[in-house]
């Protein structure tokens, strides 16, 4: 049972925001925040109004049913309407309960995804490349925009590391459960005896932070410049275009050397740094709030094994929800990705509901 006061708060807040948004001379940031909150409340306002008026409507129908002066047909119609009303209330109650769960403010943000080859040498770098291609295909299917920020290739044609920005609708809420260790089991091309090898790649998904989300003071930064050491044209090893940025208070370090221009490398480096600081602070707050509760879904820590891709058996297994599908090729093509995400979201919601109870 949802406290009616909570539902009435939704209705009052929606009405107040509606009035405030029509006022003149609103601060730009305040207007953006209010518009965002108003948009979120719009998704539940009709259900909240129905839930708020349920008791009165139920009482009116019961009066019709109990009134002996009414004929049988009217009573039957009232009974049917009451049954539908109760059924709708039960459905709406669950939706409101989910809406009232603590929100992850980062869910609506774009994301920065970092993929790195882990244990397994060259085979791990090939797997890192496979994962990146998978996220590219998912982005294409969902009409997201993916832009490579930094990339480092291996001798085998795989990827040692790739960092990319993904923009679209609710990106972080869709990809946030991808953070962790992805393990692959397959026979490498170089394996002459047909033995299955196990290697891994790590994925980190960060909410992309805007300048208004994280304020970085110049005094908190140490910026070092050096010569690029990888592909990049004639300027490589002739100019100090590469940049290393250290955020002194947190100790977070970002290096960027993909661009020939020192200015562009600094811009890209700050973009990554801002998101890492934002995630660092967000994670710290989340840990403080939920230090007594361990989530089965996981913490998003890149040291946690989350999924296994087994090529000989053609299966993909998510260890957090014990879900296995023998559709590995389809998964790598981005075809059934949403099946895992929906189940991960459902279990995360159930855990939050349980913790509230």
State whether 233 and 335 are in the same domain: no
Nearest to 349 by CA among 180, 86, 107: 107
341 and 284 part of one domain: no
Query: Rounded to an integer, what distance in angstroms lies between the CA atom of residue 223 and that of residue 230?
Result: 20
224 plus 351 within the same structural domain? no
Same domain, 312 and 177: yes
Predicted local distance difference test score (pLDDT) of residue 303: 64
Residue-level pLDDT, tens digit, the chain, 357 residues: 788 888 999 999 999 999 988 887 788 878 888 888 898 899 899 999 999 999 999 999 999 999 888 888 999 999 999 999 999 998 898 888 888 877 777 888 999 999 999 988 899 999 999 999 999 999 999 999 999 999 999 988 899 999 999 999 889 999 999 999 999 999 987 676 788 999 999 999 999 988 778 888 889 999 998 887 654 444 444 567 889 999 999 999 999 888 888 898 999 999 999 999 988 888 887 776 555 445 555 544 556 799 999 999 999 999 999 999 999 999 999 999 999 998 998 888 888 777 655
Model pLDDT, residue 298: 52
Residue 271 within a domain: yes
Contact 205, 111 (CB under 8 A): yes
- Alpha helices in 100-162, H assignment, sequence order: 121-141
State which residues form the domain around 281: 218-289
CA-angle at 246, arms to 303 and 208, nearest 5°: 60
Q: How far apart are CA 277 and CA 246, in angstroms?
A: 11
202 and 306, same domain (yes or no): yes
Residues 167 and 304 in one domain: yes
Domain of 243, CATH number, reads 3.30.160.20
Q: Are residues 205 and 327 in the same domain?
A: yes
Kindly report the pTM of this predicted structure: 0.71
**Tokens read off for 167:** 């923009």
86 occurs within a structural domain: yes
Would you say 268 and 258 are in contact if contact means Cβ atoms under 8 Å apart? yes
């Amino acid at each position: 049972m949802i406290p009616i006061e909570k539902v009435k708060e939704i209705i009052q807040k929606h009405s107040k925001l509606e009035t405030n948004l029509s006022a003149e001379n609103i601060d730009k940031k305040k207007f953006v925040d209010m518009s965002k909150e108003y948009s979120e409340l719009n998704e539940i306002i009709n259900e909240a109004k129905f839930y708020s008026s349920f008791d009165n409507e139920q009482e009116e129908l019961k009066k019709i049913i109990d009134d002996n002066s009414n004929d049988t047909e009217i009573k039957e119609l009232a009974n049917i309407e009451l049954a539908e009303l109760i059924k709708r209330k039960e459905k709406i109650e669950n939706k409101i309960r989910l809406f009232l769960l603590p929100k992850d403010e980062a869910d609506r943000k774009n994301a920065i995804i970092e993929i790195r080859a882990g244990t397994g040498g060259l085979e791990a770098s090939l797997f890192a490349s496979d994962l990146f291609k998978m996220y590219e295909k998912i982005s294409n299917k969902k009409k997201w925009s993916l832009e490579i920020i930094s990339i480092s290739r291996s001798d085998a044609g795989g990827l040692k590391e790739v960092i990319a920005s993904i923009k679209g609708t609710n990106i972080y809420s869709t990809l946030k459960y991808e953070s962790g260790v992805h393990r692959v089991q397959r026979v490498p091309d170089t394996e002459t005896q047909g033995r299955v090898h196990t290697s891994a790649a790590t994925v980190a998904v960060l909410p992309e932070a805007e300048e208004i989300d994280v304020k970085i003071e110049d005094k908190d930064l140490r910026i070092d410049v050096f010569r690029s050491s990888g592909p990049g044209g004639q300027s490589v090893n002739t100019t100090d275009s590469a940049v290393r940025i250290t955020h002194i208070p947190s100790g977070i370090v970002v290096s960027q050397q993909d661009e020939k221009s020192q200015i562009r490398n600094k811009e890209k480096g700050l973009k990554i740094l801002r998101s890492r600081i934002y995630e660092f602070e967000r994670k710290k707050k989340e840990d403080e709030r939920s230090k007594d509760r361990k989530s089965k879904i996981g913490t998003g820590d890149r040291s946690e094994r989350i999924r296994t891709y087994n090529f000989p058996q053609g299966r993909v297994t998510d260890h957090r929800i014990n879900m296995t599908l023998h559709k590995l090729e389809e998964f790598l093509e981005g075809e059934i990705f949403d099946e895992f995400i929906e189940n991960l979201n459902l279990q995360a919601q159930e855990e939050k509901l349980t913790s509230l109870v």
